[in-house]
Structure 1
Amino acid sequence: MICLLKGCFKFQVFFNSEKDFGKFNYFCLILCFKIINLKGKNLKVSVILSTYNSESWLEKVLWGYEQQTNRDFEVVIADDGSKKPTIDLIDKLKTKLSYSIQHIWHKDDGFQKSKILNKSILAAKADYLVMSDGDCIPRKDFIETHLNFRKKGYFLSGGYFMLPLEISESITKEDIISQNCFQVNWLKNRGLKTSFKNKKLQTNLFIQGFLNNLTPTNASWNGHNASGWKEDILAVNGFDERMQYGGQDRELGERLFNYGIKSKQIRYSAICLHLDHPRGYKTQESIDKNLAIRKETRSKNIIKTPFGIEKL
């Protein structure tokens, strides 16, 4: 847009009057804003990432989105009150990454992830939302997979591959660009133990589908890896803002079920690496409170929380 405006001013010499030149500049401005709006409307996906004072993890994750095979997306960072280092990182990466970033921030008031996610849902430009966390590095086919499996009347339930802290810290930007960090042998050379869970990094599409159908894990809405239609999430009024750590994502999914939305399992298809970190915000009190809210949601078949995006 800036380049186009500069170009308009360079053409001033060809106009007979300042009035004509002013009309031309006005036309350029309208054209620029239309281009911006069209760019937003053409986006297939808005990726909403939650974060809080974890800039080293967030940087790895944002480089993961730079490697995506499908480029029709924006990233909306749902920032629950991070301090200056995170803000500076985002400002720096905005100039280096090829995709658009929206940074949605509010003042730190304890664990208020549900509130900042609701603000980010409203800010998202695309009709389809992928939700993950600022500590989950996506494999290069992450967005493409969510798009390929999306279907009206459904939300998608992905999983994660948890890494120990030492391996999490060892992953570099170069490892993400090369995608080496998604290779089982590469991870084993850095201390990863042999486990059936390593099958999550399987790239064979047939085996992925087989494991998706075989797994006993419920296809729930998972905050680290899930996607759905924005209109469905708005219909249930987003996240319940009473809920802090522990199950607020599952409760959203339960209200989507009550609304009539079904779920599809893609835990072995849509892959992200979950970087380890301490969870000082985890308390038994918040978990017990959230369990009670979820029980009420299921027993009363609640669809639209009165404590969500719109306060009812």
Structure 2
Amino acid sequence: MKASVIISTYNAEEWLEKVLIGFSIQIESDFEIIIADDGSGPNTKKLIDSMRTNFSIPIVHVWHEDKGFQKTQILNKAIIKSNSEYLIFTDGDCIPRNDFVAIHLQFMQKGFFLSGGYFKLPMSVSNLITKHDIISQSCFDKEWLIKQGLNKSVKNLKLTASPIRAKILNALTPTNASWNGHNSSGWKSDLIAINGFNQEMQYGGEDRELGERLINMGLKSKQIRYSAICIHLDHSRGYVNEQALAKNKAIRKSTRENKIIITDRGIDSSL
């Protein structure tokens, strides 16, 4: 397969279903889906099992027991389970446009990882999106979204940029091309080389820390935030923990200052 798409999730079946519908209609079909499930209850497994019957794309469900926010651990387990040399990472609350996988494959390059973004929707609009809206791609149409209640903004350019304009905007954006868990990709061999995600980290910068170690190893990052498009469905964030945020900030500082490449608490801890 050309790619493995790794989707993180936790007890969000309604949003995950919409995301999987988005991946079922990709113009590129030579990929697998690895669902990195951070301890969801049985309803998530039921959804995945039911979706498999209508999917031509393989779906692998990687699960571990719920022990709080342990996204880095389940992502490392998903990396181990993947069957492709190229890995695309996103979240179970981000619906991909139908060229999402194709764009990542178009821009992939040895010596680089890709950095995408998302288009954030308010809860009111998130709730209105149906299966039909995803299949028809209406939910990626700026005018349709405004009719549903989206505010007019210059940020809407992300949805309307042509390939040529997207290339220009990717080059001009002041946003750092960091590793973003909702929309990034890289070579499995590179992620293995740095021992994957740092499992000491919980929510807050854990994705970017991985990217910082890839850069310390000599990789460069390529900006595709205006090319690889996904829309982010709103949700609460009850997992935010100030103590964990402070710990993660200190880890990232150490990673940058000491040019750390390989984490001591990574993939090998999940074997």
TM band (smaller chain): over 0.9
Which among 3, 9, 12 is matched to residue 54 of structure 1?
12
Aligned to 1:132: 90
Task: Return the alpha-carbon distance in structure 1 between the equivalents of residues 259 and 42 of structure 2.
Answer: 42
Which among 179, 191, 194 is matched to residue 137 of structure 2?
179
- TM-score normalized with structure 1 length: 0.86
* One-letter amino acid of the counterpart of residue 238, structure 2: G
Aligned to 2:191: 233
Task: Return the alpha-carbon distance in structure 1 between the equivalents of residues 53 and 108 of structure 2.
Answer: 31
Which among 16, 24, 28 is matched to residue 70 of structure 1?
28
How far does the alpha carbon of each residue in 1:141-196 deviate from its partner, in whole angstroms, 9 at most, with x for none? 00000000000000000000000001001100000000000000000001111111
Residue 152 in 1 paired to residue 105 in 2?
no
Which among 108, 115, 130 is matched to residue 66 of structure 2?
108
Could you tell me the percent identity over the aligned residues? 59
Unaligned runs of 5+ in 2: none
Residue 123 in 1 paired to residue 81 in 2?
yes
* One-letter amino acid of the counterpart of residue 148, structure 2: R
Mapping for residues 153-168 of structure 1, pairs under 5 Å: 153-168=111-126
SS in 1 for 2:176: coil
* One-letter amino acid of the counterpart of residue 112, structure 2: Y
Is the 1:45–1:73 Cα contact (8 Å) retained in structure 2? yes
Aligned to 1:170: 128
Residue 215 in 1 paired to residue 173 in 2?
yes
SS in 2 for 1:310: helix
Task: Return the alpha-carbon distance in structure 2 between the equivalents of residues 187 and 139 of structure 1.
Answer: 14
Aligned to 2:152: 194
Residues paired across the two proteins, number: 270
Unaligned runs of 5+ in 1: 1-42
Residue 288 in 1 paired to residue 246 in 2?
yes
Task: Return the alpha-carbon distance in structure 1 between the equivalents of residues 193 and 158 of structure 2.
Answer: 32
How far does the alpha carbon of each residue in 1:173-224 deviate from its partner, in whole angstroms, 9 at most, with x for none? 0000000000000000011111111011024111100110110000000000
Aligned to 2:39: 81
Is the 1:75–1:101 Cα contact (8 Å) retained in structure 2? yes
How far does the alpha carbon of each residue in 1:217-255 deviate from its partner, in whole angstroms, 9 at most, with x for none? 000000000000000000000000000000000000000
Task: Return the alpha-carbon distance in structure 2 between the equivalents of residues 59 and 234 of structure 1.
Answer: 30
Task: Return the alpha-carbon distance in structure 2 between the equivalents of residues 80 and 140 of structure 1.
Answer: 26
1:96 Cα deviation after fit? 1.1
Q: Aligned-residue CA RMSD in angstroms?
A: 0.9
Greater relative CO (CA pairs within 8 A, separation 6+): 2
SS in 1 for 2:174: coil
Give the greater-gyration-radius structure (CA). 1
1:67 Cα deviation after fit? 1.0
Is the 1:51–1:77 Cα contact (8 Å) retained in structure 2? yes
SS in 1 for 2:255: helix
- TM-score normalized with structure 2 length: 0.99
SS in 2 for 1:68: coil
Which is helix-richer, 1 or 2?
Answer: 1
1:285 Cα deviation after fit? 1.2
Is the 1:161–1:272 Cα contact (8 Å) retained in structure 2? yes
Task: Return the alpha-carbon distance in structure 2 between the equivalents of residues 257 and 162 of structure 1.
Answer: 27
* One-letter amino acid of the counterpart of residue 54, structure 2: K
1:286 Cα deviation after fit? 1.1
* One-letter amino acid of the counterpart of residue 54, structure 1: A
Is the 1:202–1:268 Cα contact (8 Å) retained in structure 2? no
Task: Return the alpha-carbon distance in structure 2 between the equivalents of residues 310 and 261 of structure 1.
Answer: 22
Aligned to 2:208: 250
SS in 1 for 2:191: helix
